[in-house]
Amino acid sequence: MQPLQATTDLRDELASVFDRQRRFAPQMALTTSQERIERIKRVQDWMLSHQPELETAMYNDFRKPSAEVALGELMSVNAEIKHIIKNLKRWMRPQRLPTPLSLIGTKSHIRHEPKGNVLIIAPWNYPFALIAKPLVSAIAAGNVCMLKPSEMTPHTAALISRMVRELFPIDEVAVFEGDADVSKALLDLPFNHIFFTGSPAVGRIVMTAAARHLASVTLELGGKSPAIVDDSANVRQAAEQLTWGKCLNNGQTCIAPDYVLVHESIREPFLEAMRNCLKHMYSPDGQPVEASASYARIVNRQHFQRIRSLVDEAVQQGATVSIGGRMNEAENFIEPTVLEQVTDSMRVMQEEIFGPVLPVLTYRTLDDALSRVNQRDKPLALYIHSRNREHTQYILDRTSAGDTVVNDTLLQFGNVELPFGGVNNSGLGKSNGFFSFQEFSNQRGVMQRDFGTMKFIFPPYTDRVKKLINWAVKFS
């Protein structure tokens, strides 16, 4: 009976905090742009002044290099905060709209009002950035928030809890650490909006829970993001960018390239360029990759075993390891690994890999490549490496993806002016900059009549009234 009692205590605590925040939400909605910016600056100042502690926490969680903490975590959050500070006052102003001729005498505008009680569930792969970015956007829109960091990165989760306790009263922002039971209990509460980052499988669970309360959702998911390298591409540059994009954070990035389609005529130079890139990035002095201070680890034993099983099964079914392949279970270490001769029946081509393993396939025509891409769910990202503008346009016109990057990798997440998010299985809703502000806001339409009336179309519907209605239809 003890676990049941613990669960009951947990649910009571969550409900108590939720009710406190719901009571405070109307007051939070009335805050000015400057009051919201002051709150957001607290996060910025704390983050920058505690950078060494954040670096240590993420190193302890999965040996993330300090440079990747700065690049993948702090830079994106700081850019988001600066963008909000610069633009929030303008975003909060009523947005005036044109008036059709048939509604002359009225004026209309859109108000961005906060949705209210917001839940943010963050993943483990970028454990600080993927909770801090939606948090500052939710505050910018005037919401109160409950946060759930991932239990798989406990050192970072503890630091996030400390940050929130130091910066915000519990009526505004609260953090709850714990496992899936905490997430399930949170999802039972009637939030107005849920922002979730994670896998499509868990995204479906979140969306089902939200549907019980008709809550809106932002789902940043993932899937198998392809890269197409055509015969006009700068092979060395493409190999450099894809190697970096695949190995950053040990491949545990939702927008990492998940497989590469390379034109058959450049297969050999592409693979050779990848070998050279891997040596330059992770073995510049001839030491093994395992000794590199620039290379992270898989987050835990469970995920290590999952990725190893994908590789082992593929090899058993006929795939070949062209590059890498070394693994060390004691350290959750997987060397950058390139697989060839893979088929669509293999799990490595059916599941998101989320590790430093990259299947490389060849194609003869662009239509062959696009057929491979379009038979799958729409990806979160699509990467095109080409110096042929017609090829690039051809691919863009015949595919769909959350975002697309041409002749680079991963950079879409860092542009605060660009909407970031997936399509269907890879996600719902958009984030970054104003798009995040919109996600956390209700776009409330407001119409006001200044003069005139519409009573000339009220019943009874005489021939004259019908004529006026038909005139309104024509000029609406």
* Order of all β-strands in the sheet with 173-175: 173-175, 144-148, 117-121, 193-197, 216-220, 427-428
Cis peptide before 460 (omega within 30 of 0): yes
List the catalytic residue out of 80, 220, 335, 352: 220
List phi, psi (to 5°) of 365.
-125, 155
Tell me how far apart the alpha carbons of residues 125 and 298 are, in angstroms, rounded to a whole number. 9
User: 144-160: b or e for each residue (b if 16 or more CB lie within 10 Å)?
Assistant: bbbbbbbebbbbbbebb
Tell me how far apart the alpha carbons of residues 61 and 44 are, in angstroms, rounded to a whole number. 22
Q: What angle do CA 222, 225, 227 make, to 5 degrees?
A: 165
- Classify 145 as helix, strand or coil: strand
E strands, 149-258, where? 173-175, 193-197, 216-220, 226-229
10 Å Cβ neighbour count for 305?
Answer: 14
List the catalytic residue out of 55, 254, 277, 352: 254
53's enclosing H/E stretch is: helix 51-62
- Classify 196 as helix, strand or coil: strand
User: Known catalytic residue: 254?
Assistant: yes
First CA to last CA distance, the chain? 66
Tell me how far apart the alpha carbons of residues 310 and 331 are, in angstroms, rounded to a whole number. 18
| The two three-digit tokens of residue 54, written as one number | 């954040």
Tell me how far apart the alpha carbons of residues 360 and 243 are, in angstroms, rounded to a whole number. 12
Q: Catalytic residues, which ones?
A: 220, 254
